[in-house]
A and B are shown apart, each in its own frame.
Chain A
């Protein structure tokens, strides 16, 4: 793999590296290019850079010591969990230290009487649920990447998932966090505390306010009964109209997801589930709750789907069939490799009633730029994920991809929506913030950042517009910034 350095410096000096080594130990340091290649990008693959050094601490105290060292030496840090982020939030330049929490992955305490659990930031999302599942509980936020992504990354991005439609996103489940501030201070913040909601500030701050080392999360009781429906629709238009109809009827299912024909084709080529690939789109609709009411809820939704012109509606017969549907949904983005070498997933949001219009526009944008766009998304909360298929090795095509991405975001904003529902701004969408926020809004956010991160040493150059606060230029079309890569569909998942 060949990398052009984005921001070349002489690299990190050896005494600094040795001081780091004294903190995290030999096995906690990645210094050679070969070791660092794995950390050169996350699931946003259009920009890559080798970190100066990667530190893998094992405790909050080690994170704090690293932060104190960096603070003293004026070196900036970038936190990383599993590197599944889709907005480039972990991109680390060669004059920066990547602090990777993946070895801090323990579940620390389970307190079911208070419906909470404490874990280290590097704990993998699915392991939270696994830890309490035997007692009939679960950790509700379930990003499709849950087999790999970490609690710390979930907190930093305020991640969602199919079931956050009913249960709420990460921020609704984080009760307390332990955070290392950029100067190395360890501070405990809790929602039980009086005062400003600093937990609410840390969640979604994309690693720009503090490094999360531990968190207390809420766990919820697993539902007694679950019904999962598959509604097959003639077209995307029909499917999105159904979404509006279901929500409009005052039904908020546990999950309401849409997959279009292109994504179905990719899933089918990989898994051979027997999905109707001739369908324009399918909806996966799940309801859960006490056994006694579940069938009437299911029937109501079935009726709405039939009245709304669904070609076919079926209810998963058993747990196995349900698992298959969710596997198809959750692994679907991973199957896109079958269709194209590269894929860029957008994350715009539109008001739910605007879904039919916005997806028509996405189709028009695809045609305009002569690109293929697959749609698989959290339809129930209006959170689009148009996956733009392309080949990263074709610089001309990359330009069209970026332009199409920009058009999609602008369309979402025009419809009253926003830039990102769960993936974050990172480096990917930083130049678009001006579409949503005024200079005064951004100035306020910068002021908030300065409260936690006064010297800008933590994850600099992310989340905020890099050049000026307004005028969204076309996104990162700058070829200099795009690294020359050989084949890289690989995400870090």
Chain B
């Protein structure tokens, strides 16, 4: 593992605890000695965020990975943070249930990492994000104390909603050790439509109309110029998935197909080489680079088109989530693409984040722009809960 590329430095030591007690001891010691702790789950998103100010103890959570309790009758599950999403889903599927989150790399990504990065996938319009499913959380705080919030019941307003504070906090306020989720029944049926459109206006028109009336669980708009390996350009590709009750799925899919009237430039079925676009948006650059623009759903096509116009070769939007991602490809220059996209975002006052980037890019750019109006509160939060800067110091927004 090239730690320096991810963290900017080699960690002083790595520990691989198997119990919460070991974690409390490691963190309490680090906090007392002025050392930093870098939580490590599956390692799929360690290139997200600024470089840590110090890189002393790498806390590998992969062996804290038990499924503590699946209660099918209550539709809840409690798992340790190092469990991978795939592992959790496998257990749940035995009882016809699932945790409706679909971030990339489910085989490697851990529950703790998914929560810490608030990672989500194309299913967000249908199911929301981690904060909508998380009902209880146990963390080890910067002092090495076990602190919990929420519980094991699906409805709960007892005390502050501590679990939400840790979702997307990139491990800067506590190390997640255990999480409880509510669950959904596996859908009875699922159907995905995929089309390639000749005209961009047709693809966006189709997506807008489907979104406004048919409640799809996923919608993806993909634009990838031809590559040396893949000669056909994957421009204006659209995926729409319906999930749920059989009749409902069938009827929604049929109605969506009807929207493609005779004059539409859609062609289907899609060439098989594009099928992977449904689940992946790979960046073939090495090291990988990915940027994300976000904002209101109604502005997403403008952002998507803006990225195309500024010459980005791989652009994917999740329209109802308001998200547009740009992946840098091997045949592009990462630095100049990044600079162009950041400039576009600033000119259009669009929030941007570097989702994946090598150390050099993260050293020289703002990983998140702009700073939110609540940043002063966020700084106070970090200073209050981690006064010594023990947990992932310097990695989060505003280098907290």
Listed in ascending order, the chain A residues whose CB lies under 8 Å from chain B are: 111, 113-115, 157-158, 160, 164, 168-169, 171-172, 187-190, 192-198, 200-201, 203-205, 221, 244, 247-248, 250-252, 289-290, 292-293, 296-297, 349-353, 378, 381-383, 416-425, 429, 433, 436-438, 440-442, 444-445, 447-452, 463
Contact = CB atoms under 8 A, between A and B. Distances in A.
A293 B248 contact: yes
Contacts of A250: 96-97, 185-186
A172 B135 CA distance: 12
Question: Shortest 6 CB-CB distances between A and B: which pairs?
Answer: A200-B164, A250-B185, A193-B372, A353-B73, A293-B248, A293-B245
Contacts of A447: 384-385
B155 A252 contact: no
B32 interface: no
B157 A157 contact: yes
B184 interface: yes
Contacts of B294: 192
A217 to B, nearest CB: 15
A380 to B, nearest CB: 9
A201 B161 contact: yes
B159 A382 contact: no
A196 B165 contact: yes
B262 interface: no
Contacts of B209: none
A83 B148 CA distance: 31
User: Which of A250, A421, A444 has most B Cβ within 10 Å?
Assistant: A444
B157 A423 contact: yes
A177 to B, nearest CB: 10
B72 interface: yes
Nearest to A223: B215
A381 B155 contact: yes
Interface string B135-151: 00000010001111101
Nearest to A190: B372
B158 A193 contact: no
A444 B351 contact: no
A200 B155 contact: no
A203 B161 contact: yes
A195 B156 contact: no
B239 to A, nearest CB: 21
B247 A292 contact: yes
B245 A441 contact: no
B132 interface: yes
User: Which of B147, B168, B215 has most A Cβ within 10 Å?
Assistant: B147
B251 A290 contact: yes
User: Which of B160, B371, B380 has most A Cβ within 10 Å?
Assistant: B160
Given A193-B374, A248-B72, A444 B184 contact: no
A114 B380 CA distance: 32
B285 interface: no
Interface stretch (B5-13, B267-275, B295-303): B295-303
Given A200-B165, A247-B73, A436 B159 contact: yes
Contact of B73 (A111, A248, A442): A248
Contacts of A350: 153
B186 to A, nearest CB: 8
Contacts of A442: 159
Contacts of A433: 158-159
A252 B248 contact: no
Contacts of A190: 372
Nearest to A448: B160
B67 interface: no
B287 to A, nearest CB: 22
A197 B154 contact: no
Contacts of B152: 351, 416-417
A417 B159 contact: no
A301 to B, nearest CB: 13
B132 A424 contact: no
B76 interface: yes
B134 to A, nearest CB: 10
B193 interface: no
Interface in B57-96: 71-76, 96
Contacts of B159: 425, 433, 436-437, 441-442, 445, 463
A247 B74 CA distance: 7
Given A438-B146, A444-B385, 8 more contacts: A160-B155, A172-B132, A196-B377, A196-B381, A296-B245, A382-B74, A416-B152, A422-B155
B297 A440 contact: no
A196 to B, nearest CB: 5
User: Which of B151, B153, B159 has most A Cβ within 10 Å?
Assistant: B159
B185 A251 contact: yes
